[in-house]
Chain A
């Protein structure tokens, strides 16, 4: 598959969408750059799929705009938007062969037969399913079906690619390999891609940037690292990786209306005497490269991960320990 002539960007502004009295999307504003691999990340019911369907044309917003390559797509029906979508269920048509499924969009575009055949072959080769062209979807494994769905979508060379939880129907091992394939494919095509997922690891591993969503709102947009390092609020901090969140009851001095947030690996254990924060070890987990301790601070409990070196002495449950937290690792976020 040749690279599209030019990758396109997506601008979303002021979007509100409700179904009846349910406000599903609230004041969504978002800018996705050309060629970017972008993720909508959030728990189920956060509105991420609806936002994706909005871009594809399957949902109508009450207010706001979606610009695709600078052009308002509101008047365009789904079939004129040129945004390729891979459905969570894959939505492969059982009455067509794999090749027919992939050829469908090309036929709808009234391409010459020869061109269609060429591009179907190319798309199937790209996903490594050339040998399965004449099979029916029901005869394929889940991973193969997913690849057919991708091939079917990229065959039409869409302006952007939308992936709705594409990995959720695959087993864990498959998921890792397929996501790498997806990333490689996206890189090769240079295609602006939006990836909807509830799994932060998936988003982190393959996406350039992530919009974290909750309750119909975008909580924060940024690269995986930015989000991890500088979460804008407690939800983001908690949703991406594990975080310790402390209030004043922990005995730590915290400004009113704020919470102290830090990652378990950013704190270290020390001798209780010299530390400002101290408390007993409540539990211990050996994770291989690290050891995770639970420590009670006041009425709260924090997790602390320390690197494991062979021969080093581990703390036991009940030991009094000190907790060292470098000030630059301390985040104060609004409650």
Chain B
């Protein structure tokens, strides 16, 4: 491990600390300090936190959230593991397609996605209507906490899929061949060798899922589950007329849980130096499946994809539907919704691509830098950068939005317009919210690169900066790109949290257009059409980057 503190590193760390301070900590602090004051004035107090512990509803909500998050990780793993393993370890036609499709669930447009899911899996959704007709029973897919787990697992399993796949690709093939040679195969080989070695990636994904589910507002509220922590915070903060510190108290709890999760993750991963020295040389040998195994593998893959892509199928149906109500399929089909949105949605799409692209670029740069500082330097307090950035995961979108208004609306540009009215502020808010995704991806990628590769470069006379540029970044490309894609894709379809920052229609992203459409019954189909367009655009961008990753993989490995 290199231990010299170069001035460059210190400057980098300070720059990142400044960025996080100005765009995350200060805005959030201006909002959550309420949690530490008693209503109606008075000094600092912790009495609100006592109230939190004494209120049954909050305690119940807390444990509900823990249960839902943990179970979601379990089910998301069940969905992600077969896809990741089959597509990275075997000759599998369409592996790239599976990887791309497997990412799609993460791109679920807000508002309209919920309607599509209800129409498919709801109490009177397609599936249950058919079940009821044929077999006379219904399944409560969307009922209560288990309903939340079901939807969250479908929605967030790509986090595990992406991170685990990247990790599996990075394992030197001799690791598994040695095990096979010693008599191991099949599931045992996966459980005993591949999975433990891919653990950094898996845990990066799993902890992200845990925190994300813990802090998610939209899905529980869609199912009308309010007795979870994040919805409680949201409902309280956004209820008008009542100045209630408890919403902010819960926000603080959410942030603490997120930080604790990240900290625990770091603790678990400590000392697990799974860097494989052969990275860049070993390549990846894909094994052949026997015909019987192949049938089974395709069956599993298709089944999983059918399940996780069902919401998108529903979305597409909805976008072509005339009326769809209490029936397995729409009454009729039309193109009218598309013609309606094509005209005025181009500005939303342009804005979305611009905002999400810029935000993801910022995330990759900062995420990569933080990962490098934490894993490769000995700067004191470097871990704090990681933790601070990770708290963004837990900061409710509405808290960040209000914080930005508070922190930047008072700051005026020379011509008198407030700083917060510029669209770049939206980009920064998104970047902060999506930073943890890119950070975790960069972290996992860097963790798997042996330090010796960098030492070799330094030994050959490369400076630290040049080593980063010529060795570290190229080797991290896959991970960084995964981070970019994750940040970009999720930002593109879910800007609802920062909607409060949108100042005019011409600066509005897609989520705003969706929101406006989804407030009227007639807008449902048009909203779905806009959603489909959004998903398509994001999917194409993702597919292109997946292509790039695959190509770089092929160029690097696959030798004899």
Contacts and interface: CB of A to CB of B under 8 A. Distances in A.
B383 interface: no
A60 B178 contact: no
A49 interface: yes
Nearest to A78: B180
Return the 4 tightest CB-CB contacts between A and B, nearest first. Answer: A105-B182, A91-B178, A91-B174, A108-B183
B216 interface: no
A79 B174 contact: no
Interface string A75-110: 001111111110111010111000000001100110
A185 B189 CA distance: 29
A28 B277 CA distance: 33
A156 interface: yes
Contact of A95 (B180, B196, B277): B196
A49 B175 CA distance: 16
B401 interface: no
Interface string B166-205: 0000001011011111111100110011001101000000
B448 to A, nearest CB: 11
Contacts of A203: none
B184 A79 contact: yes
Nearest to B558: A19
B278 interface: yes
Contacts of A81: 181
B288 interface: yes
Contact of A77 (B185, B192, B276): B185
Given A24-B560, A78-B177, A104-B192, A91 B172 contact: yes
Interface residues on chain B, size class: 20 to 34
A200 to B, nearest CB: 22
Interface in A95-133: 95, 104-105, 108-109
A89 B183 contact: no
B274 A79 contact: no
B285 interface: yes
B172 A156 contact: no
B27 interface: no
A19 B558 CA distance: 10
B469 interface: no
Contact of B180 (A22, A79, A138, A152): A79
A76 B482 CA distance: 38
A153 interface: yes
Interface of B: 172, 174-175, 177-185, 188-189, 192-193, 196-197, 199, 272-274, 276-278, 282, 285, 288, 560
A58 interface: yes
Nearest to B183: A108
A92 B163 CA distance: 23
Nearest to B189: A79
A295 interface: no
A68 interface: no
B290 to A, nearest CB: 9
Nearest to A45: B560
Contacts of B181: 56-57, 78-79, 81, 83-85, 153
Contact of A152 (B182, B184, B197, B272): B182
Given A58-B285, A87-B174, A94-B273, A77 B199 contact: no
Nearest to A164: B174
Q: Which of A58, A80, A81, A95 has the most CB of B within 10 A?
A: A95
Interface residues of A, number: 34
A95 B272 contact: yes
Contact of A109 (B180, B183, B193, B197): B183
Nearest to A108: B183
B183 A87 contact: no
A187 interface: no
Contacts of A94: 197, 272-274, 276
Contacts of B188: 108
Contact of A49 (B179, B182, B276, B560): B560
A50 interface: yes
B177 A77 contact: no
A290 to B, nearest CB: 38
A82 B180 CA distance: 10
Nearest to A104: B182
B91 to A, nearest CB: 11
30 contacts: A19-B560, A24-B560, A50-B560, A56-B181, A57-B180, A58-B285, A78-B177, A78-B181, A79-B183, A79-B184, A80-B183, A81-B181, A84-B181, A85-B178, A88-B174, A91-B174, A91-B175, A91-B178, A93-B196, A94-B273, A94-B276, A95-B196, A95-B199, A95-B272, A95-B274, A108-B182, A108-B183, A109-B183, A138-B273, A149-B178
Contact of B197 (A19, A79, A89, A93): A93
Contacts of A83: 181
A95 B167 CA distance: 15
A95 B184 contact: no
Contacts of A105: 182-184
B285 A89 contact: no
Contacts of A85: 177-178, 181
